[in-house]
Amino acid sequence: MNSIDLGVLQRFFSEVCDNETEILAEIASDCVQETDSLAKQIHNAYAVRDWELFNRSAHSMKSTSRSLGGVELSKHAETLEHLSLFKTPQFDPKMLTEPVSMLNPLVRSFIDDLRNEVAKLGASI
């Protein structure tokens, strides 16, 4: 199953990149690096219970992945973002354990699928 919404990626390629494969390659490459870095930040922030960094990183991942068609990863990042906002006395960081553990497979799938779909459009990252 492809984790990239091809319609979103195609619109991005057409509207933002003006169908220029070099532009798409540069942006997609930056997105891959950023997504990988954000995943590490989320894991590190979770480990040290830095909820501000956790929330900010999840928010950035949500936006970054959505722009290139990573709808599934974007929705998961949005879930992480929202869960990290529940700082009530009943807040239990363990409620984030499973969603955080699901992050890396979603990131890997997004990055692999993005590389494949960008290649189909004639660009390489």
Q: What's the pLDDT tens digit per position in 75-110?
A: 999 999 988 877 666 677 888 899 999 999 999 999
3-state secondary structure 27-76: HHHHHHHHHHHHHHHHHHHHHHCCHHHHHHHHHHHHHHHHHCCCHHHHHH
Angle value at C-alpha 114, between 112 and 118, nearest 5 degrees: 125
Provide the pLDDT for residue 104: 96
Q: What is the pLDDT of residues 34-73, one digit of tens each?
A: 999 999 999 999 999 998 999 999 999 999 999 999 999 9
Four-residue CA torsion sign, 59, 64, 68, 72? negative
Domains and their CATH numbers in the chain: 6-120 (1.20.120)
**pTM given for the model:** 0.91
CB 45 within 8 A of CB 51: yes
